[in-house]
A and B are shown apart, each in its own frame.
Chain A
Amino acid sequence: MTELDPVIHAQARLRVVASLSALNVGDKIAFPRLQELLAMTAGNLSVHLRKLEDAGYVEISKTHRGRTPATLVRLSQRGRLAFEEYTEAIRALLDPTS
């Protein structure tokens, strides 16, 4: 499985990207909620989000809700495409005839 996208082809980041892909296009999720969905520590999730952000796969925006700062995460168009290609590649590996 050497030709698979190395950014996504890691368990934790694959889980992050798979979760984000379940959101509707155009939606963002708050960092703590994503953390809760993935049952990851904040530090761990931050590290992986940074790697995904560096690859241009996720977009992270800071905003304010009232007075509390909030971090919002979404899968970029490029990230969604990369995830779809990865999933296709995995399916092709499992069923080379398709």
Chain B
Amino acid sequence: MIGAPPVMTGSPALTLFRKVVCVDLDDDSPPTDAAAALRLIQDQRSATARRLDPDARLLYWPWGVAWLVGFGLFFLQFTPGEQALVRLPGWLPPTVLFILLVAAGAIQAVVSVRAYGQVTGDSARRGKWYGYAWALGSLSVYAGLGRIAEHLPPDLAALLWSATAVGLTGALHMAGGAVWLDRDLFRLGVWISVINLVGAFAGPGWHPLIVAVAGGGGILVAGAIARRRQRQRQQP
């Protein structure tokens, strides 16, 4: 009887080997010794965690890029002072921001479904309800804003929109940290809320710059940290 290697290395060749061999393997046989058993446990657990836990960078970075570029364009259009830094058509910044945010949402949805799609239960319910909070929260906030913003001058309307949107994002990130007991996610929410506060007091023009650099940059950094922690967790 040929024994398949007790560890799953993840290399395609070995995986194929396992697929072929496993059919005939007398796998009722115990691991050869305690060390092999422990190795098997650790490898299997980390392999499973790797497959069920999507790369954190894919969940964070698209949002970071969207904020960096989208709010960056807002800053260029509504530069504080008399003269705009770059002349941009008025429709461009909101359109680019909207497209990038939709793209980030789509990437998040695809990555999540691929990883957790076949897992149901408490985690799935948490994720679903949290998603509803984002969707319904955004809708209700923006519906109210739309009615007020039309009576404001463009620079104040832009500040109202972005400060409210960013504030909601900060609060929901903090809530997400509470739901999953994820300290880094919670800290990101605090960071976003604080820079939003700073930006709102700094006033129209400055707010998008602060959100682009500190907010977008903060999300990129948070993604890198989350990825590092994920790697540490997934070490066999």
Contacts and interface: CB of A to CB of B under 8 A. Distances in A.
Contacts of B22: 12, 39-41, 44
Contacts of A74: 121
A41 to B, nearest CB: 6
A24 interface: yes
Q: Binding site of B, secondary structure by majority: helix, strand, loop or mixed?
A: helix
B30 A9 contact: yes
Interface in B106-128: 117-124
A60 interface: no
Interface residues of B, number: 36
Nearest to A48: B27
Interface in B40-64: 40-41, 44-49, 51-52
A48 to B, nearest CB: 8
A24 to B, nearest CB: 5
A94 B34 contact: yes
B217 interface: no
A28 B19 CA distance: 24
B143 interface: no
A3 interface: no
A29 B121 CA distance: 9
17 contacts: A10-B28, A10-B30, A12-B27, A14-B40, A15-B8, A15-B44, A18-B41, A19-B45, A19-B47, A23-B52, A24-B122, A26-B122, A27-B119, A27-B121, A28-B119, A39-B18, A91-B38
Q: Closest 6 A-B residue pairs measured CB to CB?
A: A33-B118, A12-B27, A26-B122, A27-B121, A18-B44, A22-B48
Interface of A: 1, 4, 9-15, 18-19, 21-30, 32-33, 37, 39-41, 44, 48, 72, 74, 87, 90-91, 93-94
